Amino acid sequence: MARHTSPSLRLVEHGFIKSGARSLYKQDEATGKFVIIDAEKHGKPAESHADEEEAEEANISAMGAGDFTALIKTGYPAPVKRYRLVYESFNMSLEELYFWFLNHLRQDQGYPRVEKITDIFSASENSAFFGQSAQRLSIQEDRASSFLKGIAELVKQLFQIVRELRIIDERLVPYHDWEVKGEDGKTHHSKAADSTLKGVFADFAENKGGQMQPGSIYHLAQTVGYASLPDLFFNTHVYKKDDVDKVVDGMKQFNANVRNVLKRKIYQFLVWREKTYDELQSRRRFQIKYLRQHWATIKMYMSWTKPYLKHIKRLHMNERQMDSPDLISAFETSMTEIEILCVRPSKTSYHPCVLATFEFSTRPLMQYRQEYQQGPVHVGKGTATLRAYAWTEEQIARYKKLKEDEDRELLYLVDDSVAAAMEELGDDLEKYLNEHGKDVFDRDVHAKFGSSEEPQKKGKLKAAPSAPVWEPFVAVFSGLWDAFNAVIPVGGLARKKPSGPSGKPSGAAKIAAGTMWQAFKNYKKAHGLLSW
């Protein structure tokens, strides 16, 4: 994920692209982001390609340069229509502004689907509201830091567990090759694997602590008459304990003492091989179960941590608001930003949508609501900005994803740390977790933890939707038809639903714009403001 991306480029990444530049982009199915088709030819994504709203508010920097007609890029997708209301009152709670629009759009205008997109605030350092919020923030930070420490320790131990499993698998290779059943059903043995295991037996089982033990093969080789014992031991391949006497007794060219010691050593080796194989297998099964439990604990800690990180991000003061001249540290002032998306269900693919953004520059008054609890009542200035859109479900999801990506740096602190460990461990972790049980490894762990979506193959691109050249002309008549059919339904003359995305955006856009105008006008009339 790109970090610290400008608002214009973020709009391009999420598919809000001007119609003239749509043909330059395709959607990467692995990430869902829109990328340039031919980077060598067209270069990097350009901010000018964003279908971005340009507002008419005073641009301070442009006015300083003498340009009083310049428009500001707000970072929002270009709406069909936009209304802006600034309401200032120092003797009335401005919480009523938000709830009036919320209830009016949801109840009176028929937008039952309301989703909260943004909810951030900032308060001056010396205000009582700041102190109360700082106490809550410190509690959340303490809990999150303890969980993050636990995740760091668990990830560190994860490397040790996987490393030990790799060592066990490496040690088990000669055991598996020592006796293998072929496709013909017969058992085959490997002389190389037998010699390898005998070397491990002679080096480690008989020599403990790095010192040569009396009675070991190499110690007896230094004794007169037993110099040939190591050669006989490594070159005599016996795979069953019952065959030891038969094979060794047939070696008449060697004296009886050497044959007796050889019998004893080969028999000890076969018993050692059998017991150590069972021990390694048992140890491996235990380590895999422990790894699965360890991985489940990491995911549990991550699920516990993410809500705290989300709360911390929301409790932190917004830097942009803290630098605003409306927020003075010596005053009891605060700034709040709320954004909701109201959607009216439609029979077509395009839904009327009203994006309502509320910005409050207020003076919080701490009032006791109960004997033991106090809370702020906000009085001051509120700005309500309403934007009308005709969006499909895909566009709604892309906009929500856009707003989430603006505010997820702390969440990626967890995801990126664990994902980096996954990348270093490679495919071994997935192989061990999925062994001897159901698939417990989330295959989309590198992209997003906790997601229930199926993983998509990387590199596959989907073309960005492009509007036909005749759509502006058809949209004019389509909007007239939708308006006429909304007043007088024409059953027999109803048009057939086209294949693919049904309907035209113009009808939904007109409904959203009309709804927004009614809400804007009704609020002004209900509060005695100038209206027409």
Higher pLDDT, 230 or 521: 521
Residue 122: the pLDDT is 65
Q: What's the mean per-residue pLDDT of the chain?
A: 76
Residue labelled with tokens 């192989």:
431
Q: Give the tens place of pLDDT for each residue, 145-184.
A: 888 888 888 888 888 888 899 899 999 999 988 888 777 7
The reported pLDDT for the residue numbered 389 is 95
Instruction: Report the SS3 class of residue 87.
Output: strand
Q: Is the pLDDT of residue 138 over 90?
A: no
pLDDT at 490: 47
Higher-pLDDT residue of 345 and 407 is: 345
CB under 8 Å to 357, separation ≥6 — which residues? 118, 337, 338, 339, 384, 385, 386, 387
Residues 6+ apart with CB under 8 A from 97: 87, 358, 360, 382, 384
What pLDDT, in 10s, does the model give residues 273-317?
Answer: 999 999 999 999 898 888 888 888 888 887 787 777 766 666 665
Task: Give the residue from 202, 214, 220 showing the smallest Cα distance to 258.
Answer: 220
Reported as a pLDDT band with limits 50, 70 and 90, residue 118 is confident
pLDDT at residue 2 tops 60 = no
Dihedral sign for Cα atoms in the order 370, 372, 378, 379: positive
Q: How confident is the model at residue 373 (pLDDT cuts 50, 70, 90)?
A: low
- pLDDT tens across 436-478, in order? 555 555 444 444 444 434 444 444 444 444 444 344 434 444 4
Single-letter amino acid code for the residue at 283: R
Mean pLDDT, range 239-251, rounded to an integer: 87
Residue 120 has pLDDT above 60, yes or no: yes
**Matching residue, tokens 């664990």:** 418
The whole-number pLDDT of residue 367 equals: 57
Q: Residue length, the chain?
A: 532
528: left (phi over 0), alpha (psi -120 to 50) or beta: left
Please say whether the dihedral angle defined by the alpha carbons of residues 96, 102, 106 and 109, taken in this order, is positive or negative. positive
CA–CA separation, 236 and 458 (whole Å): 54
Residue written as tokens 């939707």? Answer: 465
Bridge partner list, 352:
390
User: Virtual CA dihedral for 46, 47, 51, 52, nearest 10 degrees?
Assistant: 180
Q: Which residues of 138-165 are buried (b: 16+ CB within 10 A; e: fewer)?
A: eebbebbeebbebbeebbeebeebbeeb
Q: Return the pLDDT at 419.
A: 64
User: Which is more confidently placed, 90 or 232?
Assistant: 232
Determine the Cα–Cα distance for residues 358 and 118; give it in Å rounded to an integer. Answer: 10
- Of 79-83, 144-148, 337-341, 413-417, the least confident: 413-417
Q: Bigger pLDDT: 8 or 503?
A: 8
| Residue found by looking up tokens 């991306």 in the block | 5
Range 386-415 average pLDDT: 78
**Sequence-ordered list of residues with C-beta below 8 angstroms from that of 251, at least 6 positions apart, any chain:** 232, 236, 259, 262
- Whether residue 428 is predicted with pLDDT greater than 60 in this model: the reply is yes
Percent of the chain topping pLDDT 90: 20
Query: Rounded distance, CA 101 to CA 384, Å?
Result: 9
Q: How far apart are CA 365 and CA 338, in angstroms?
A: 19
CA distance 199 to 239: 16
- The model's confidence at residue 38, banded by pLDDT at 50, 70 and 90, is confident
Higher pLDDT, 350 or 439: 350
d(CA 195, CA 207) in angstroms, rounded, equals 17
- Structural domain spans, the chain: 1-78, 79-124+327-394+467-532, 128-317+408-455
* pLDDT at site 469: 39
Q: Which amino acid is at 231?
A: D
Q: Which range, of 26-30, 236-240, 444-448, averages the lowest pLDDT?
A: 444-448
User: Rounded distance, CA 342 to CA 515, Å?
Assistant: 11
pLDDT for 396 equals: 94
What is the per-residue pLDDT for 515?
93
Per-residue pLDDT band for 489 (boundaries 50, 70, 90) equals very low
Q: How far apart are CA 127 and CA 48, in angstroms?
A: 42
What token pair was written down for 209? 């602590």
Contact at 8 Å (CB) between 330 and 363? Answer: no
Instruction: Report the amino acid identity of residue 371.
Output: E
The alpha carbon torsion through 266, 267, 270, 275 (nearest 10 deg) reads: -140
pLDDT digits (tens, 9 = 90+) for 48-107: 899 999 887 655 555 555 565 667 888 899 999 999 998 887 666 767 889 999 999 999
CA dihedral 273, 275, 278, 283 (to 10 degrees): -100
Gyration radius of the chain's alpha carbons = 36
Which tokens belong to 82?
């936009």
CB 304 within 8 Å of CB 196: no
pLDDT of the residue at 103: 93
